[in-house]
């Protein structure tokens, strides 16, 4: 009789394990289907791929002499503010002589004209 109870208990335990395994498999199938539906929804909502365009050229590297030009321009302007018109004109002339195509050229030329007017005044 004890053997019969043990066999019944093992059968019940095996049945419970089988039931849990079936439920887990059904749950995993529903999860997989849900993930596939979500991926399909995202594909519909996502905008169409933008066509590849020609690569944009990299910007030109900055001119390493810009810092030197800026220093000369600042020194000349400070000399002009300090009342040293001759020194200011010399510094502007050095800037224009070394860097004739400088981005600060027009500013330097205008400042030279202003300093020359200061020299003419007694």
88-118 tens-digit pLDDT = 999 999 988 988 888 888 888 898 898 888 8
In a domain, 11, yes or no: yes
pLDDT at 22: 97
What six digits make up the tokens of 41?
């929804």
Q: Please choose, from the candidates 92, 80, 91, 74, the residue with its C-alpha nearest in 3D space to the C-alpha of residue 119.
A: 80
The reported pTM is: 0.48
pLDDT at 99: 86
**Could you give the number of structural domains in the chain?**
2
Q: Are residues 112 and 70 in the same domain?
A: yes
In a domain, 58, yes or no: no
Q: Is 121 helix (H, G, I), strand (E, B) or coil?
A: coil
Q: Are residues 42 and 83 in the same domain?
A: no
In a domain, 92, yes or no: yes
**What backbone torsions phi and psi does residue 33 show, to the nearest 5 degrees?**
-65, -40
Mean pLDDT value across the chain: 87
CA–CA separation, 103 vs 121, rounded Å? 30
Question: For residue 34, what are the domain limits?
Answer: 1-46
With beta carbons less than 8 A apart as the criterion, state whether 93 and 112 touch.
yes
CA–CA separation, 114 vs 80, rounded Å? 9
Q: Which residues of the chain have pLDDT under 70?
A: 49-52, 121-122
In a domain, 24, yes or no: yes
In a domain, 6, yes or no: yes
Q: Are residues 115 and 70 in the same domain?
A: yes
């Amino acid at each position: 009789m004890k053997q019969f109870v043990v066999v019944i208990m093992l059968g019940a335990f095996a049945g419970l394990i089988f039931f849990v395994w079936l439920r887990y498999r059904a749950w995993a199938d529903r999860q997989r289907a849900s993930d596939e539906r979500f991926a399909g929804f995202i594909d519909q909502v996502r905008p169409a791929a933008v066509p590849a365009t020609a690569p944009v050229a990299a910007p030109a590297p900055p001119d390493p002499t810009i810092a030197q030009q800026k220093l000369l321009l600042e020194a000349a302007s400070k000399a002009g503010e300090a009342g040293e018109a001759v020194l200011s004109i010399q510094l502007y002339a050095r800037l224009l002589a070394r860097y004739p195509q400088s981005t600060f050229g027009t500013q330097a030329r205008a400042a030279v004209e202003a300093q020359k007017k200061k020299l003419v005044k007694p």
